[in-house]
Amino acid sequence: MSLEKTHYDVAILSTGLTQSILSAALSKANLSVIHLDNNDYYADQWASLTLSEIDSWARSRYSKTGISHLDISYPSSSSPSPSTPPAPSSDIDEDHSPSSHQQHESPDGPPEEALKLDRHYALSLAPTLLASTGPSIDTLVKSNVASYATFRLLEHTAVFTSPETIERVPSSKEDIFKHKGLGLIDKRKLMRLLAYAASGDWEKPENRGQLEAIPFPRYLSEQHKLPPHLVRAVAYGVSLSSSSEESTLTALARARDHLRSTGRYGNSAYLVGQYGGAGELAQGYCRASAVHGGTFILAHKVKSLQRQGQEEGGEGEVAESVWSIEVQGLEERITANWVVASDEMLDELDDSPQTSRQEPPASDVGGIDVVRGILVLDRPIDFVETATEPESSYRVEAEDEEDGAKAPVKPKTPPETGLLVFPPNSLEEEGVDGGGGHSETIMALMMGEGTFSCPKGQYVFYLQTQIPSQSPRSAKEILSGAIQAILKLAGKSSPADPVPERDGEEENPTSKEEEVIPILQLVYRQKIASDGHTRKDERLFSVPFPPMSTSGPTSKTTPPTLADLPDLSTNQAERLFWQIVGEEQRSISERNASRRKKRRDPSEFQGRGGRGYDDGVQSEEETEEEEGVDFFG
């Protein structure tokens, strides 16, 4: 195959979300873009995969750097009888010799019945929650990608409390107000706290220092006198703090964002993307890039990347050197002024000594691994029925309807989406084989058929937490407590029993529990890349995954939560965009934005009433927009 042209302004390697957003923005700004990926699917480390794809992804990862302790199994099809617990399979360490890899590559692939519905699975390698306000949503709308990706509201958020109970988190003022399980005093305390978070007073310089120093849970119980269950709800259910040490300043900022987001699209601060989320967004941005002229080549291995002097450039121009890229299956080499690549694709090049990875300094964020888990179950956690006090508004309604009699209850809508947060150390007592406890927050995001993540009647649970890289604990050990808890909670909401009894306090959970065995269970640890080898002088950027926040001392050591990822990726893409098109363009863009604002609300700037485009007071120079490119103008 051959290309129409071989020189491009920018060559992008990997179709991860950040690269895809960047690709669309650059194409839209009229730069020529060629976008390459070794894989035959979109979105690379952010991909949404079918069951068979994730199976081969997992098998290929045994040999990849960055991934360790990977363990994939299909317990429901491999265990001989449903009463036998899933057979223990030892985990795989990246340091093992090839021979020891062999023994783990069991012939057991996905079960037959599941493979028949293979294309109904969209299992995400980077599960995300999309905040309803913020850079990610804004960019989706501005770029028009929002019109071809689809979303759902996150329906439920609950916090786990040992043993086996979940407490639903009131997510808005309205929720708190209607909350039947909360005393009046607690309601007032909560309202006051949320009002403070929304006010932004905590951002004032005189408050910052103190708030930075105090961990959020302590702040909530000491300053706001919140009882323990509300500390849990606010710190882990609203602020989504990833550890009990998170600073109050960081957590309040998240609480404020949460409050701002709630209500924009419904009674939740978050959306979930359908068809696996991030992978679908990456596809959407790539399409947007193609529509504006970007060239896409998937499933072709990028073999080498070299600097090459360029001959042209007469008339006193300095002969510039460019990047020359060799792609398997393409006759000609591609040249580009800029290269933006994923760490992984740079690592997999055959040559390119110039991109050899520097070892991160010992003190670096290289010290943290993300721990991920994917479970596919045949039933959900019923966030409404399973939840205990506090939170009862739904339950009370249901009881009113029922009127005591065992009248046939109309089949309730099964929950589609829910976030279950396991606060630090909440699983200590669950201790299964070697202790299921974990000293950091574990998040579990549930996605049902309505999110197009899996076939009808099945539910995907994404688990995520973190661990210091030097810890020897396997991903399976770290997550086992949370996995056991999820299986037990799901056992309480058997879909075979569509009319769950509601006998109030008399309820005996063990009596109708059913053992739930996962259809798929995949766990692994993923090393957080250091900031990589950004070489602006040579016009080469590598994009670390996952994207990290650039500001704030605490965020440096904490991997992003599910809810941070989309915004961080968008910011990462925007930073790269301005570096490539030139920082001076950013200044022009900012000046133009403030001009547009002035035109829209002249009163705000001049203390006048009325609306108008131009009241004649501003000079041409002030209102006329400068010529320039924009990040999705």
Partner 1 sequence: MSQPEQQAGAIAAAPPQKPFQTKLVLLGEAAVGKSSVVLRFVQNDFQENKEPTIGAAFLTQKCRLEDRLIKFEIWDTAGQERFHSLAPMYYRNAQASAVIYDVTKASSFEKAKSWVKELQRQANPNIVIALVGNKIDLLGRTESVEESTAQGEEDDETATATPEAGASSSLRAVPKDEAEAYAKESGLLFFETSAKTGEGVVEVFTEIAKKIPIDLHLARSAAAATAGGGSGAGRTGAGAQSGGVDLNSGGESRGRDACSC
Residues near partner 1 (CB under 8 A) are 1, 40, 42, 119-120, 132, 137, 140-142, 144, 146-153, 264-266, 271, 274-275, 280, 283-284, 286-288, 290-292, 295-300, 413-414, 416, 448-450, 452, 456
Phi, then psi, of 295 in degrees rounded to 5: -100, 135
Sign of CA dihedral 75, 76, 77, 82: positive
Q: In the bound complex, what is the minimum distance in angstroms from residue 53's beta carbon to partner 1?
A: 11
In single-letter form, the type of residue at position 562 comes to: L
Residue 451 vs 474, nearer CB to partner 1 = 451
Residue 120 vs 591, nearer CB to partner 1 = 120
Q: In the bound complex, what is the minimum distance in angstroms from residue 143's beta carbon to partner 1?
A: 10
Contact (CB, 8 A) for 41 and 53: yes
Q: Which of 192, 169, 243 is nearest to 442 (CA)?
A: 243
Q: In the bound complex, what is the minimum distance in angstroms from residue 544's beta carbon to partner 1?
A: 24
Q: In the bound complex, what is the minimum distance in angstroms from residue 458's beta carbon to partner 1?
A: 12
Residue 149 vs 463, nearer CB to partner 1 = 149
d(CA 520, CA 54): 10
Residue 202 vs 265, nearer CB to partner 1 = 265
What six digits make up the tokens of 60? 């290929």
Residue 141 vs 499, nearer CB to partner 1 = 141
d(CA 65, CA 357): 12
Q: In the bound complex, what is the minimum distance in angstroms from residue 586's beta carbon to partner 1?
A: 22
Identify the H or E element spanning 394. Answer: helix 393-402
In 498-630, the DSSP E strands lie at 520-527, 540-543
Distances (CA, A) of 252 to 177, 241, 249, 559, 570: 21, 10, 5, 18, 22
Residue 148 vs 605, nearer CB to partner 1 = 148
Q: In the bound complex, what is the minimum distance in angstroms from residue 374's beta carbon to partner 1?
A: 19
Q: How many CB atoms lie within 10 A of CB 360?
A: 16
Q: In the bound complex, what is the minimum distance in angstroms from residue 225's beta carbon to partner 1?
A: 36
Contact (CB, 8 A) for 383 and 166: yes
Q: In the bound complex, what is the minimum distance in angstroms from residue 283's beta carbon to partner 1?
A: 4
Residue 449 burial by CB count (10 A; 0-12/13-18/19+): exposed, middle or buried? middle
Residue 176 vs 290, nearer CB to partner 1 = 290
DSSP 306: E
Residue 246 vs 416, nearer CB to partner 1 = 416
Phi, then psi, of 151 in degrees rounded to 5: -135, 160
Residue 3 vs 588, nearer CB to partner 1 = 3
Q: In the bound complex, what is the minimum distance in angstroms from residue 427's beta carbon to partner 1?
A: 31
Residue 442: beta bridge partners? Answer: 422
In single-letter form, the type of residue at position 510 comes to: T
Residue 313 vs 633, nearer CB to partner 1 = 633
Contact (CB, 8 A) for 548 and 394: no
Locate tokens 């009596």: which residue?
511
d(CA 176, CA 267): 12
Q: In the bound complex, what is the minimum distance in angstroms from residue 168's beta carbon to partner 1?
A: 19
What six digits make up the tokens of 418? 């829910």
